[in-house]
Structure 1
Amino acid sequence: MKKIVLTLVTLVSVSALAQTNFPESMNSAYEKKHEIRLGAVKLLSGHSLELSYERVKDRNQGYGVNFLVGFQSGEDVLNQNISIAPYYRFYFNQSQEYGAKGMFVEGFADLYSGTEYVYGNSYAVDPYGYYYYDQNKENFTDLALGLAIGWKKVNTIGFVFELKAGYGKNLIQQNTNASGVFKGDISIGYRFN
């Protein structure tokens, strides 16, 4: 009698768990194709605001755009005022779950503008003997092509955590202070339908 009751209780509990519908199931996470992220480190440092949008094409690839607006100016900081960078990603995902997560390689084109400080050839001497060179602000626009590598974690509900670092080489060379741009941040975001 005990064996029959134990078997019935086990079957009822297993069938009850099998019928539970979880809204954050693997199928719903797989169906989410749009993603928006915020560059947390850049925002917390007060340097700039970086927003990213990605469209998941399939479990191994995605494409999107990064948009950056700079806050600080001065000769001691990178003076990117605005940046638009479309990208394409290839994911190295080995699991058979929903895709566009894990390690990735990204190719990007970054069109950006900013301000640089250029020192002139003339100078002035103050009463204490210190030299001060003439300094001019010049605006520039440049285009950089580059690669980045990163890692992304997506949970079943759709929250996203991403680490990324990369470098792009300037093609136009209007920015004389730098030969390229660094692309990287720790980003948080959400994947949705």
Structure 2
Amino acid sequence: MKKIILLTLFVVGSHAFSQENETALSKKNELKGNALFLVLGAGEISYERLINDDSGLGISMFFINEEDFDTNFSLSPYYRAYFGKKPAAGFFVEGFSMISTGKNGSYSEYNSTTNSDYDVAGKKYSDLALGFGIGSKWVHKRGFVFEINAGIGRNLFSSNSPEVVGRGGITLGYRF
């Protein structure tokens, strides 16, 4: 009888302690800024909502007020699949779309007869691109986020827009 009671206690006790440690995300939102673009004189902010430990949906907004860049505004929704050991961190692959506006083909030229520069205006465009990217994300235990990513896409509709678009940066943010 003692053996049956001990066996029952052992089985019940082992089930009580054998539950898996679930890594449920308690913080599912991230707000980030692209530090690389900030140094270059542009701005990009991103928001990402983590779906589960392995994926997230986000949107990035890029803006710049300089004539030297073809694109002066873009909005890029994206989906990421994470392959790291920590929840929504480590190596990731991303698919994105990009709605962009700007002027393509703007340049400055020097006139030797008047000894002055003049600007040749490019053609305005608005276009939609589809692309993919890769990167890596590190998350501090207090919620700070550091990310490096790069991606490439192709514009689909306008003949005035650049054929290829790039996406990437060095991003700092916070998970809350």
TM-score by length of 1: 0.71
Deviation at 1:142, TM superposition (A): 1.1
Deviation at 1:53, TM superposition (A): 0.3
Contact 2:127 2:158 (C-alpha < 8 Å) held by counterparts: yes
In 1, the alpha carbon distance for the partners of 2:65 and 2:121 equals 20
Amino acid across the alignment from 1:50: E
Could you say if the C-alpha distance between residues 148 and 139 of structure 1 is closer, same or farther in structure 2, counting changes exceeding 3 Å? Answer: same
Query: Among 122, 126, 140, which residue is 1:155 paired with?
Result: 140
* DSSP-derived class of the 2:69 partner: coil
Could you say if the C-alpha distance between residues 27 and 39 of structure 1 is closer, same or farther in structure 2, counting changes exceeding 3 Å? Answer: farther
Identity of aligned residues (%): 39
Q: Which residue of 2 aligns with 1:117?
A: 105
Q: Which residue of 1 aligns with 2:75?
A: 84
Contact 2:24 2:53 (C-alpha < 8 Å) held by counterparts: no
Query: Among 66, 89, 95, which residue is 1:101 paired with?
Result: 89
Could you say if the C-alpha distance between residues 135 and 72 of structure 1 is closer, same or farther in structure 2, counting changes exceeding 3 Å? Answer: closer
Q: Which residue of 2 aligns with 1:59?
A: 53
> Any stretches of 5+ residues in structure 2 without a counterpart?
1-20
Q: Does 1:39 align with 2:23?
A: no
Deviation at 1:155, TM superposition (A): 1.0
In 2, the alpha carbon distance for the partners of 1:126 and 1:53 equals 49
In 2, the alpha carbon distance for the partners of 1:134 and 1:184 equals 29
In 2, the alpha carbon distance for the partners of 1:174 and 1:180 equals 12
Could you say if the C-alpha distance between residues 44 and 28 of structure 1 is closer, same or farther in structure 2, counting changes exceeding 3 Å? Answer: farther
Amino acid across the alignment from 2:145: V
Deviation at 1:134, TM superposition (A): 8.4
TM-score by length of 2: 0.77
Could you say if the C-alpha distance between residues 171 and 157 of structure 1 is closer, same or farther in structure 2, counting changes exceeding 3 Å? Answer: same
Query: Among 150, 159, 162, which residue is 1:174 paired with?
Result: 159
Q: CA RMSD in A?
A: 2.7
Deviation at 1:66, TM superposition (A): 0.4
Amino acid across the alignment from 1:49: G
Runs of 4+ in 1 over 6 A off after TM superposition: 26-29
* DSSP-derived class of the 2:25 partner: helix
